[in-house]
Structure 1
Amino acid sequence: MTRSPRRAAPDQGRHVPVLLPEVLAALGLDRDGLAVDGTFGAGGYTRGLLQAGPGVQVIAIDRDPTAIAAGQDLVRTAEGRLRLVQGCFGALDTLLAEAGEAGADWIVLDIGVSSMQLDQAQRGFSFRQDGPLDMRMGGDGPSAADLVNGSEEAVLADILYHFGEERRSRAVARAIVEARRRAPIETTAQLAELVAGVVRAEPGSPIHPATRSFQGLRIAVNDELGELVRGLHAAERALRPGGRLAVVTFHSLEDRIVKQFFAARSGRAAQSSRHLPGTEAPPPRSFRLVTKGPVLPSEGETDINPRARSAKLRAAERTEAPPPPTLSAIEALASLPADTRRARR
C-alpha cells in the first residue's frame, strides 16, 4: 500500500480528479498513442491525458448525456485530439471499434458517481440537497424511486446490505415498505429522513446515517459493479500489448473486484497444486502488475479534496497473451445472492 506525496492546493471552484499525477505516472504515457478515459465526467483525467504529450490522442466515454454536452468546449480546445463518445465503459472495446480504432495504449477508469452528478440536486444522487429520487447516470431505466416503491422487502434489504454495506438493512427495508403504504417515497429528503429514523448516527462521525443506503440504491440503479466487471474485461480485450490500465475506486466493493481481477490475470491468485492429478493448467497471464498494492492519496490531497479519502489506485500492463475467458468468480462479486432469505438485523 503506497501513499502518494503531498501536493499543492488546486484552484478553487474547479473539479479536481483524484490521484491524477499517480494515475498518469502509472499509465506511463511515454510515447504517441491512443488513451481512453472510460469515465469522462467533468473531464479531469482527460485533461491530464491531453497534457501528457502532443502525440496522445484521447477517446473519452460517458453514459451521461449531460457530461458529453458539457465536454464540447474541451473538444474544441483539444483541436482534433479528443473525441467524446456517449456509452457505457463496459462496452469500451466495442465503442472503440465503432470509432474506427483497433485498440488502445492506455485506459483509465474512475469508478462511481461523479462530483458533478452529486452537486446537481435534480439528479437525486445526494441527500444533502432535496431532489427527485432518481440516481440514474444515463437517464434511462428504472430510477431509485422505482426500486424503493416497487421492490419486495427482501430485495430491498439485499440491495442495502450487499451494495450499501448497511448492517441495519432489514430494518431500513421494513421501514421503507411501511412508509410507502401510506404514500410513495419520491424525494431524497424523504428517504434520508426515513433512514435516519432507523439507523443511528455514530457519535462524532461526519457520515450521515443514510449514506450507505443511498450508495446501495445508486449501485443497484446503475448496475455499477456489473459495469465495472464488464469494463475490466473490455479493457483487457482493447489494450495492445504493453498498454496499461489504471483504475481508481472509492469503496471496498469496487476495490475487491479490481484487486481480484488483477490477481487472477497476473497469476497472483491462488492456484490449484500442479502435483494434484486432473488439475487444469493456469490460464495465460494477460496482465503484469504495475502497482504491487493500492496507491493511496496523500494527506495533503485528502485535506483539500475530502472525496479522495477512500480512493485507491491499482494499475497493470497488458501482456501479449490472448484474453482468457470471462472470470465467473469476478462476475459473482457484482451480483446479489440468489437466496434473499439470508438473515440480517
Structure 2
Amino acid sequence: MSEQQPARHVPVMLSRIVELLAPALAAPGAVYVDCTLGLGGHAEAILTRCPNAHLIGIDRDPQALAHTRERLAPFAERVTLVPAVYDELPHVLAEHGRPRVQAILADLGLSSLQIDRTDRGFAYAVDAPLDMRMDGAQPLTAASVVNTYPVADLQRILSRFGEERFAPRVARAIVAARETEPFTTSARLVRVVADAIPMAARKTGGHPAKRTFQALRIEVNRELAALDAMLPAAVAALAVGGRLAVLSYHSLEDRAVKQVLRTAAEDRAPRDLPIVPPGFGPEVKLLTRGAEKPSTDEIAMNPRAASARLRAAERIEEAA
C-alpha cells in the first residue's frame, strides 16, 4: 500500500486559542508547550503571532512529528519536538530545563493524519486493520482487545470509555463472533456492533459503532489515564501569568478538565478561616465561561470541530 498523505490540517477554534494564549507569550524567552502537537496547525499560528515564543511540541505519534517538523521548518530555531505522551510533561520540561512555562495547549482530538490514514484503523466508516495505536511501537492494538478481553472487561471499557448503554449486548456479541473467527479489520466489527444494538436505537445518536470505537481507542492508548496525570501537571508547570487551554471532544474528557480547573480556581484554605491567608487563594482564574463551543460557521467549514469544547485558565498564584 502506498503511503497516504494527510489532508491539510484544519485546527479547531484556532483564532480563539491564539487569542487566549498569546498574551502570556509576549516576553522574550516565553515558552509555549503543545502537548498534542498533531500536524502543528495551532503551533504554526502561535509561533507566527508570538515571535518571542519558543515551542516545545510533544506527540507520541512519530509520523505526526515528522510531518510537523517539515511544516514548522521556518521556525526551526524556536522549535523543540519531543516524542512522548502528554502525561510525561514534567519529565519533558525537566529534561529541557523549563520547569515553568508561559502557555500550554492540549488538543485532545485525533489529528487529520490519524483519521485520514485508513491503515491506522481509527475510523469506523472504512474497512481497515483494527490497530488504533497512536504510537505504533506499543504492543496493545484494538484487535488484541476485541479478540482477547473477557466479556466482563469488554463490557467495562464499552460502558466507561464509550458510555455505551448497550455495552452488555455489544460485549457478548463481540465474544460470540470472535469464537467463529478472530476480528482483523473494522468492517466486520462494525457489523457485529450494529447488529447488537436495537433497531430503534440505531436511528439516533450517530453511527452505532461510534461509542465502541471511541472506547477501544481510549483503552488502547490509555487516553484517560494519561489525561488524569497531565492536567494537574500542566497547572503546576505554569508560571504566574501563564495560561492553559484544553480542547476536549467527548464528555469524559471535558468532565476531567472541568474538575481540575474548577478545583484549581477555588480557595485552598480551611473553610473555617475568616480570611484566606497568602498562598492559599485560587491557583488559577478561569478564562472561559464554562466550555466554549465552535461557532456554527466553523462547524460548517470543519465538521470535525462540532464536538469540541474549550476550557482555559490563567495561573494567578503559586501553590503554598
Give the TM-score, by structure 1 length: 0.83
CA RMSD of aligned residues (A): 2.1
Matched, 1:14 2:8: yes
1:110 and 2:111 matched: no
- SS of 2:187's equivalent in the other structure is helix
| CA positional deviation for 1:290 | 1.2
**Matched residue type, 2:9:** H
Shift of 1:247: 0.3
Q: 1:91 aligns to what?
A: 88
Change (3 A) 1:44 1:102: same
2 CA distance for matches of 1:234 and 1:289? 17
Which amino acid in the other structure matches residue 164 of structure 2? E
Q: Deviations over 1:13-57 (max 9, x none)?
A: 521111111111122435131101110111111111111121111
Partner of 1:278: none
1:171 and 1:203 map into 2 onto residues whose CA distance is 14
* Structure-2 residue corresponding to 1:338: none
What's 1:340 paired with?
none
CA–CA separation in structure 1 for the residues paired with 2:88 and 2:280: 23
Alpha-carbon distance change, 87 to 203 in structure 1, aligned in 2, over 3 angstroms: closer
Q: Which structure: greater helix fraction?
A: 2
Tell me, yes or no, if the aligned pair for 1:201 and 1:209 is still in contact at 8 Å.
Answer: no
The question of 1:320 aligning with 2:317 is answered yes
* Mapping 1:1-345, distance limit 5 Å: 14-29=8-23, 31-32=26-27, 33-139=30-136, 140-199=138-197, 200=199, 202=201, 205=204, 207-267=206-266, 274=272, 284-322=281-319
Change (3 A) 1:201 1:208: farther
Gaps of 5+ in 2: 1-6, 274-278
d(CA) in 1 for partners of 2:159, 2:203? 23
**CA shift for structure 1 position 312:** 0.8
- Unaligned regions of 5+ residues in structure 1, if any? 1-12, 276-281, 324-345
In the alignment, the residues of structure 2 paired with residue 179 and residue 79 of structure 1 have an alpha-carbon distance, to the nearest angstrom, of 51
Deviation at 1:238, TM superposition (A): 1.5
Report the 3-state secondary structure (helix = DSSP H, G, I; strand = E; otherwise coil) of the residue aligned with 1:197.
Answer: helix
User: Is the Cα–Cα contact under 8 Å of residues 243 and 317 in structure 1 kept in the other structure?
Assistant: yes
1:92, CA displacement in angstroms? 1.2
| Change in 2 beyond 3 A, CA 1:268/1:185 | farther
- The code of the aligned residue for 1:192 comes to V
Give 1:31's aligned amino acid: A
Do 1:247 and 1:314's aligned partners in 2 also have CA atoms closer than 8 Å?
yes
CA contact (8 A) 1:258 1:314 kept: yes
Letter in 1 for 2:84: G
Distance in 2 (CA, whole Å) between partners of 1:304 and 1:60 is: 26
The verdict on how the C-alpha distance between 1:268 and 1:188 changes in structure 2, with shifts beyond 3 A counting, is farther
CA distance, structure 2, for counterparts of residue 104 and residue 221 of structure 1: 30
Render the CA deviation track for 1:205-229: whole Å, top value 9, x for unaligned: 5821101100011111111111111
User: What is the alpha-carbon distance in structure 1 between the residues aligned to residue 96 and residue 122 of structure 2?
Assistant: 31
For 1:55 and 1:283, how far apart are their aligned partners in 2? 32
CA distance in 2, matches of 1:152, 1:204: 29
1:314 partner letter: R
3-state SS of paired residue (1:317): strand
Number of aligned pairs?
304
Structure 2 letter corresponding to 1:22: R
Q: Structure with the greater relative contact order (CA < 8 A, sep ≥ 6): 1 or 2? A: 1
2:225 & 2:245 partners in 1: Cα distance?
Answer: 18
Distance 1:183 1:64 in 2: 31
Q: TM-score, normalised by structure 2?
A: 0.89
The structure-2 alpha-carbon separation of the partners of 1:211 and 1:245, relative to structure 1 and needing over 3 Å to count, comes to same
2:156 alignment partner, SS class = helix
Q: Distance in 2 between matches of 1:283 and 1:224?
A: 31
**Contact (CA 8 Å) 1:201, 1:208: kept in 2 or not?**
no
CA distance, structure 2, for counterparts of residue 96 and residue 135 of structure 1: 28
CA distance in 2 between partners of 1:42 and 1:104 (Å): 22
